[in-house]
Amino acid sequence: MTSSQLFGISTLGYLLASALYIATLLFKTKKSGVVASILTLLTFLVQTVGIGLRWYESYEMGMGHAPLSNMYESLVFFSWSIVIFYLLLELKFHNRIFGAFAIPFAFFSMAYASFAKGINQEISPLIPALQSNWLIVHVVTCFIGYAAFAVACGLGFMYLLKSASSDTSETGVISSLPKLSVLDDVIHKTMIFGFLWLSAGIITGAIWANSAWGTYWSWDPKETWSLITWFIYAATLHARFTRGWQGKRIAWLAIIGFVSVIFTYFGVNFLLSGLHSYGSS
């Protein structure tokens, strides 16, 4: 079995898990939630084996590099990062409803990687700029941050959905969502976690840039938008600490921040040319 086949299984697994988590939200069936968690964990293990196998396949082809070098591989790792972050979140808070707003991000990432036109799924040799040990460190730190922001975005939608609902009955769909105060706290902590990892990603990227191009910062479009994204989350956390912002404001900022993440990730690659354009292939 090849890594591509395992990734195909992972895509299907996350689709089914998303459906089960949503069913748990809509119908309040505990069994579907348990099955969803088990399926998510099993799919995550399959995807992990797939990532390891793709790494091995690159050595078999005489290239020998981590599967983090192009858009396809980064989408797979993005999905993987979302799932591991979600599983830890579920373990900590013992609430499977979060999965209805988090796991679909993992599915869409895998589905886009698998079916979008123009994405090269082949294992390719690294270009000289990527032939560095900093590749793994930089990509991993950035995408752990991105994964946390994706989950925070999903929780932001959850908060807005609950706060906008007039359904106060104990049997309604909205009643199964966590309390607003709990959601607000989880969104805040998730953004702090993501912000720390994004900061580490920008720092490691600057160090890598200096070794590859002789400068720590060149105002490349990707670098510029990474900085914009960093400032959005920095401003959000600053407003929280100094002015006590919470509730809908933080939920909306979690969503807006992730929109900036998506543009930094996709928009720069496809719409703007620069030193990071190789990542679009």
pTM of this structure = 0.91
In whole angstroms, give the CA distance from residue 143 to residue 96: 23
Q: φ and ψ at 241, to 5 degrees?
A: -75, -40
* 242: enclosing H helix or E strand: helix 221-243
Which amino acid is residue 43, in one-letter code? T
- pLDDT tens for each residue of 166-214: 655 555 678 778 899 999 999 999 999 999 999 999 999 888 888 877 7
Q: Going by C-beta distance under 8 Å and a sequence separation of 6 or more, which residues neighbour residue 83?
A: 14, 40, 43, 44, 47, 103, 106
- pLDDT tens for each residue of 130-171: 777 888 899 999 999 999 999 999 999 999 999 987 655 555
Closest CA to 225 of 191, 152, 274, 153: 274
The token duo for 276 is 């990071």
Tell me 103's DSSP state: H
Q: Going by C-beta distance under 8 Å and a sequence separation of 6 or more, which residues neighbour residue 118?
A: none
Half-sphere exposure of 60 (CA within 13 A, CB side): 9
Task: Place 232 in a pLDDT band, splitting at 50, 70 and 90.
Answer: very high
Kindly list the structural domains of the chain, giving each domain's residue range(s) and its CATH number in brackets, ordered by start. 1-118 (1.20.120), 129-281 (no CATH)
SS3 131: coil
